Structure 1
């Protein structure tokens, strides 16, 4: 679950990351987390940094990188690579394992469950003797709105 300030504005107690390391809750971490909560699509670190700067939040780009990586390590955000290979982040609304449909044009993301992919991944790993397997599947294309704009322009 994302960490949020309490009703009286105080930051919550430090959290234990997935690896067991406790994370300090700083003003910058709260600001990054709050900005992610306001966004619907994936955002790069540099895009998030610009958003924070425009809001008057004092956070360095290096700190933004560290906070996003920490949130990813804690599985509080999804991270994937966009078409340019750049890491992008988003607070996901789905808490179970899932995949994404991503628009190459506008960046729209749709979360999808794919039982057939899960079955295939488990079977393939087992056939090759792999254990403790994880996987990521992202499907890139054009969303309906971008497809319609492209068709209209032709």
Structure 2
């Protein structure tokens, strides 16, 4: 049975309103280098005198990632976030040691993903590609040690 039109329209997610908590999370994320966990961001906010709760930080980060204002990745079973510097689809090179992150274009990956999806009859395919390694600085520091 088809839902009434009004019910379908109400199921469309509405834009989140900007609360002081959400803006505090956005500001803290903007001032953080590289990817950060919700717990680390929460600790940073609390150290700055904020009374924001950890659950609120988690919700705000998830919303920012969903809306494209933050990049999100999974590392060792934990979600990490960073302020997104572009609204275009992109990929990352991420240093496993220091967290340095470089946004990269990967046109061959884009073509490959669309080709594989089409071969299997999929449409509207999306993907996430992050490459982990050691940046030049961390590699050099390790070699000197």
TM-score (normalised: structure 2): 0.88
**Secondary structure of the corresponding residue to residue 135 of structure 1:** coil
8 Å contact from structure 2 (residues 94, 132) kept in 1: yes
Q: Which protein is bigger by CA-based radius of gyration?
A: 2
Once the 2 structures are TM-superposed, how far is the Cα of residue 98 of structure 1 from its aligned partner? 0.6
Contact 2:68 2:87 in 1 (8 A): no
CA distance in 2, matches of 1:64, 1:36: 10
- Deviation per residue, 1:14-64 (Å, 9 max, x gap): xxxxx5323122111111111111122111000100110111011010110
Counterpart for residue 123 of structure 1: 115
**Residue from 128, 136, 143 that aligns with 2:128:** 136
Runs of 4+ in 1 over 6 A off after TM superposition: none
Structure having the higher helix fraction is 2
What is the alpha-carbon root mean square deviation over aligned residues? Answer: 1.1
Give the unaligned 5+ runs of structure 1: 1-18
Matched pairs, number: 134
Question: Whole-Å Cα distance in 1 between the matches of residues 126 and 15 of structure 2?
Answer: 24
Structure 2 segments unaligned to the other structure (5+ residues):
1-11
User: Given the two structures, how large is their TM-score scaled by the length of structure 1?
Assistant: 0.83
1:101-147 CA-partner distances (Å, limit 9, x unpaired): 11111111111000000010011111111111010011111010110
Q: How far is the alpha carbon of 1:92 from its aligned partner? A: 1.4
